[in-house]
Amino acid sequence: MIEIVEANTEDLIAKAKELFQEYAESLGFDLCFQNFDQELDDFPGQYFPPMGRLFLALSENQSIGCVGLRSFEKDICEMKRLYVRPDFRGRKAGRLLAEATIKASKVIRYEIMRLDTVPSMESANILYKSLGFRQIKPYRHNPIKGAIYMELSLR
């Protein structure tokens, strides 16, 4: 069984940071254009309340996935770093993490959620569309060829 928890203790935050690092290493490209090293140095930083959240997916107390929610601009938030360890993919952990993030963004009273992704993340892109995200024009710099920008109305 998969459980989604908010990473709000020192131990859970450390597990989330480990997963963020694993996520970055799995991409096949460097996240320096997103100041990822600084993000890790300040962790959990912008992913912490009141305007952010950090979630973990646990299976038998093992951390198997993560996602972050952060403020982008007034009334707009961003879902970042949705990641599920390869051995646990296909078990709905990604969907559960995304749904927890959407729910939290509504509680915080954001009106729009955005994200950017890449074409190689096929399963994630299918998930985003199934959750109601629609493709939009670029809202931030992403040098990765074919970068996809998406948005979900939360109202």
Task: Give pLDDT tens digits for 89-123.
Answer: 999 999 999 999 999 999 999 999 999 998 888 99
| Continuous segment of H or E residues that includes residue 99 | helix 93-108
- 3 state SS of 27: coil
On whether the pTM is more than 0.85, the answer is yes
Domain-wise residue ranges, the chain = 2-112
As assigned by CATH, the class of the 2-112 domain is: alpha beta
Task: Give pLDDT tens digits for 137-154.
Answer: 999 877 777 889 999 999
Strand order, beta sheet including 134-136:
2-6, 53-59, 62-73, 76-84, 112-117, 148-153, 134-136
